[in-house]
Amino acid sequence: MRKSDPLLSLLALLAGLFLWTLAGSTRSPQAAAERLDPVRRLVSELGLSDPALFTEARYTRHLSQADLHSAFQDHPMALEHFPSGSLLAPPRPATHGRGE
């Protein structure tokens, strides 16, 4: 067997998989849309405006709703959303946590 044989077969395999991933994204837009149907129903039922991806603070939880000018509102350890957050530490609450 030549040295290029295994390499070429490996490359062909990888390239095949690569093309498959590219084709996969256009293969079933219908199915993908159906998969999102329950989410869309929930969103329209409750009038949701934001994903629950960043739940640490209200201005990250409801990014589109928040007045973006107030920091450290909810979680005492919430990492700041703005560049200034890397310079200012969050205030130490007098009581242990909030909402207690």
| By CB under 8 A, residue 1 contacts other proteins | no
Nearest distance, CB of residue 89 and other proteins, angstroms: 13
Q: Does 86 help bind other proteins (rule: CB under 8 A)?
A: no
Neighbours of 98 (CB within 10 A): 11
Q: What residue ranges bind other proteins (CB under 8 A)?
A: 2-4, 7-8, 10-11, 14-15, 17-18, 21-22, 24-25, 32-33, 35-36, 38-58, 60-67, 69-70, 74-75, 77-79, 97-100
